[in-house]
């Protein structure tokens, strides 16, 4: 098959992982997205638009994405056909063993409003500063002393062979889909990749994406969502909504069996507890 992917080191590592899971010989087709070019597009569309177009036009047979980069609403004719077994979904702190180990006023780098909101809620003394670039660039800026610590995704570090660079941050609720890969195909062609789907991971992702849709959240919204199996057939969904400055936040957790319903229910509970006002 022709597997569509972005050309970054992490994206290629993820596409090779999918190719290995599928078995046999497959072609990786690198597609330059709007995000790679630095174009300003709304929400997460900049990371997937050109890959979606390549699928629709028949230039590729499937595409591999970091699930957290896939918009809550997919274009007509495209579906998430497989979610391989999830990697570690947690955020990782690089440069210190823990949040508690950071000195007062320490400078922590992140490009994520979700991470910034939670860091400020947990440690109001921290100077949370914007950090851009790929994983290697961010780690180099940390090594150069531009930051006392930075926050990255544990899964990304693992996939690049840099797992030892960070310590898991259990205090933070991850982004919806963090640690998951989403393999998309044209509608009706899911069988091409169905064999590599991991149902528990797919169910967890479905619950997290349902919550994001119900909150009408985007990549500029400080929202965390993480679902996992807590008993046979039962998911526990944790969620966080916070103000970027850390001054207010709402958390919730709920069990359920039906992913879409669970995500909608948790979103409704967050909104009833004041999440809309926090986001505003």
Active site residues: 69
Contact 78, 151 (CB under 8 A): no
CB atoms < 10 A from the CB of 245, how many?
A: 13
CB atoms < 10 A from the CB of 277, how many?
A: 12
* Nearest alpha-carbon partner for 273 in 237, 249, 238, 257: 249
d(CA 235, CA 102): 34
The number of CA neighbours under 13 Å toward the Cβ of 72 is 21
d(CA 218, CA 62): 24
d(CA 168, CA 75): 34
């Amino acid at each position: 098959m022709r597997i569509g992917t972005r050309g970054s080191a992490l994206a290629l590592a993820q596409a090779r992982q999918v190719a290995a899971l599928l078995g046999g010989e497959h072609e990786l087709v690198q597609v330059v997205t709007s995000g790679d070019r630095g174009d300003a597009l709304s929400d997460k569309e900049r990371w997937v638009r050109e890959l979606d177009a390549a699928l629709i036009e028949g230039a590729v047979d499937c595409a591999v994405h970091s699930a957290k980069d896939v918009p809550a609403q997919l274009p007509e004719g495209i579906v998430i056909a497989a979610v391989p077994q999830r990697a570690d979904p947690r955020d990782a702190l690089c440069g210190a063993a823990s949040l508690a180990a950071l000195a007062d006023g320490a400078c922590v780098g992140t490009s994520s409003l979700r991470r910034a909101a939670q860091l400020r809620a947990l440690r109001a003394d921290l100077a949370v500063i914007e950090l851009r670039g790929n994983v290697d660039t961010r780690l180099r800026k940390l090594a150069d002393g531009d930051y006392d610590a930075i926050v990255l995704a544990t899964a990304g570090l693992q996939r690049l062979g840099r797992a030892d660079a960070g310590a898991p941050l259990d205090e933070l609720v991850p982004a919806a889909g963090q640690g998951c890969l989403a393999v998309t195909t044209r509608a009706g062609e899911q069988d091409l990749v169905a064999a590599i789907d991991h149902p528990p991971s797919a169910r967890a992702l479905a619950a997290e994406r349902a919550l994001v849709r119900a909150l009408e959240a985007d990549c500029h919204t400080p929202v965390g969502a993480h679902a996992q199996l807590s008993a046979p057939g039962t998911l526990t969904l944790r969620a966080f909504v916070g103000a970027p400055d850390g001054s207010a936040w709402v958390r919730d957790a709920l069990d359920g069996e039906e992913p879409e319903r669970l995500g909608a229910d948790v979103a409704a509970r967050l909104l009833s507890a004041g999440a809309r006002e926090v986001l505003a």
